Structure 1
Amino acid sequence: MCAIAGLTAAWAEAGCQRSIDVPMAPIGLSVSFDGERAGGIYPTLLRELAASAGCEFQIRRVPRARLLKMFEAGEADLLIPASASPAREQDGEFVPLIQVRASLLMLSRERPAPRSLAELVARSDYRLAVVRGFSFGTAYDGAVATLREQKRLVEEADAAGVARALRLGIAQASVMTASIFVSTLITEPDLAPLLKQVRSEPLEELGWSESGVYLSRLRLSEADRRTLRQAFGQAAKTGRVWQLFNDSYPPGSLGGSIRPN
């Protein structure tokens, strides 16, 4: 405890050299907005780190697709939450916070589900709805690229758009972490009735992967990246990130989609 307290005091004393710009997009219980006020798991984490690390975080709302472009162009300091992706390594330094597992999500319990992404791509009658900018590894990225070329991909700005596409029958399934999808249904009154219809199935290519935060290599100084790396890393190491998830979700609802890093 004394060692942790000492580290916290050192971060607070050093702090960040400037205000940290954090554009964020709504994503279920992880990030939400009431007007301009950000809430949810990750804004709560940032507010706690502001006190312990001596950094000021300026959170603002932007669409998910725009957020990714901003980060790639060096117009955002952090990308959070974000899955680890080799394509993002040149733009940012990744700090893992949690482990996630994406799965196939459907609203129909009668239709046989593909057991793999390869089988899904091979089934010409399948259309997939996804959130634009999400990534769950190279197998997922490859399947999405193929379906896009075949005009069998429905790309939405957020998980709520995906749920509505499934409800309308525009697509037969989606791929994302079940926790994101379910928490979106919980927070959207018109989508809440779909909760009892949700079916989640594993896909062979999609195992557990890391999710966390990217620190911009283009905008942040090495000193600020070091401060933030230590702060986020400590939050994951002490179990605080996992605790925030457990405090936000109904008991027992995270199994199979989120676990501690």
Structure 2
Amino acid sequence: MNATTRSVWWAWGMLAAATAQAACSRPMAVPMAPVGMSVSFDGERSSGLYPTLLRELGASVGCEFQMQRVPRARLQKLFETGQADLLVPASASPSRDPHGEFVPLLQVRATLLSLSQGKPAPNSLAELVAQRDYKIAVVRGFSFGPAYEQAMTALRAQQRLVEESDPAGVARALRLGLAQGTVMTANIFIGTLALEPDLAPLMPQVRSEPLEELGWSESGLYLSRHTLGEADRRLLRTAFAQAVRSGRVWRLFVDNYPAGSLNGNVKPL
């Protein structure tokens, strides 16, 4: 066992000791949708870094997380209507704040992703909206902040937005030429390509370009204000914060994603 692994398990041990008298009041409902290597399913069995994190944390603090596969487009509605205790993974968004307490786990930066093309890509969301021959494919329910949402609303009104249920659908839309680019974090997109045999050959073609309005922001999860009492939220908030401080969250990203796919779009808090 190396020094990093020892420190991680020591931190989990300390967390377990600190919460020995506490446990979640009931099983936690956590609907999830596949998203690259972060969340995947084999039938109903969930895997990926976020299910792994939840299982480790649950074993340490006495919480059961009941993870169930649902379409990405349903997640936000389930959370808003009190049918989900956690929304994970999720970017911080003002529209979600009335429904949940945000817990940051890492920093992300969405970029404009495309397959190798000859013509220059837009440098900003404003330029993207103004470039009338450029279509964008996105995943329904993804959000990367107000500037992103405003740009997508404008593109939708111009009928230049292709909306798919998951990142694999976005990749196939780009391959077919239905759209010229997508906006998301590169690790999600590349992780999806790596898991899909018919899409894996596209990996060397992926181009990532920063967009002026989209800087670094926090990503993590939301704890429901509708379904969770303060004691459960406090326990989970503390547990996730400790997972961040111990380096376990970042180690899961490094271990799960292809080398280089995190550069410029994901970094620790």
Q: Report the TM range for the smaller structure's normalisation.
A: over 0.9
Alignment of 1:38-57 (within 5 A): 38-57=46-65
**2:192 paired with 1:187:** no
Counterpart contact for 2:12–2:243, Cα < 8 Å: no
Partner of 1:120: 128
Q: CA deviation at 1:4?
A: 7.0
**2:88 paired with 1:71:** no
Distance 1:47 1:133 in 2: 25
Counterpart contact for 1:63–1:157, Cα < 8 Å: yes
Distance 1:46 1:34 in 2: 17
Give per-residue Cα distances to partners, 1:179-232, cap 9 Å, x unaligned.
000000000111111111111111011111100010000011111011110011
Counterpart contact for 1:132–1:157, Cα < 8 Å: yes
Distance 2:59 2:115 in 1: 42
Partner of 2:35: 27
Q: CA RMSD in A?
A: 1.3
SS of the residue aligned with 1:86?
Answer: coil
Q: CA deviation at 1:3?
A: 8.5
Q: 1:3 to 1:64 in 2, by over 3 A?
A: closer
Partner of 1:111: 119
1:10 is matched with which residue: 4, 15, 18? Answer: 18
Distance 1:214 1:184 in 2: 23
Question: Mind listing any 5+ residue stretches in structure 2 that lack a counterpart?
Answer: 1-6
Partner of 1:80: 88
Q: CA deviation at 1:253?
A: 2.8
Q: CA deviation at 1:178?
A: 0.4
> Which residue identity does 2:143 align to in structure 1?
S
**2:166 paired with 1:158:** yes
Q: 1:234 to 1:251 in 2, by over 3 A?
A: same
Counterpart contact for 2:104–2:221, Cα < 8 Å: yes
SS of the residue aligned with 1:14?
Answer: coil
Give per-residue Cα distances to partners, 1:152-187, cap 9 Å, x unaligned.
111110100000111111111100000000000000
Greater displacement, 24-33 / 244-253: 244-253
Q: CA deviation at 1:98?
A: 0.8
Partner of 2:243: 235
Q: CA deviation at 1:51?
A: 1.1
Q: 1:185 to 1:6 in 2, by over 3 A?
A: closer
Give per-residue Cα distances to partners, 1:105-136, cap 9 Å, x unaligned.
01133121000000000011111100101111
Counterpart contact for 1:13–1:54, Cα < 8 Å: no
**2:119 paired with 1:140:** no
1:196 is matched with which residue: 196, 204, 215? Answer: 204
**2:227 paired with 1:210:** no
Distance 2:252 2:11 in 1: 23
Q: CA deviation at 1:16?
A: 0.4
Counterpart contact for 2:82–2:227, Cα < 8 Å: yes
Distance 1:206 1:46 in 2: 29
Partner of 1:258: 266
Report the TM-score, using the length of structure 2 for normalisation. Answer: 0.94
Q: CA deviation at 1:5?
A: 4.2
Greater displacement, 1-10 / 114-123: 1-10
Alignment of 1:97-108 (within 5 A): 97-108=105-116
Give per-residue Cα distances to partners, 1:7-29, cap 9 Å, x unaligned.
42232430100000000000010
1:169 is matched with which residue: 164, 177, 192? Answer: 177
Q: CA deviation at 1:69?
A: 0.9
Q: CA deviation at 1:149?
A: 1.1
Counterpart contact for 2:137–2:161, Cα < 8 Å: yes
Distance 2:117 2:64 in 1: 47
Partner of 2:4: none
Question: Mind listing any 5+ residue stretches in structure 1 that lack a counterpart?
Answer: none
Moved over 6 A (4+): 1-4
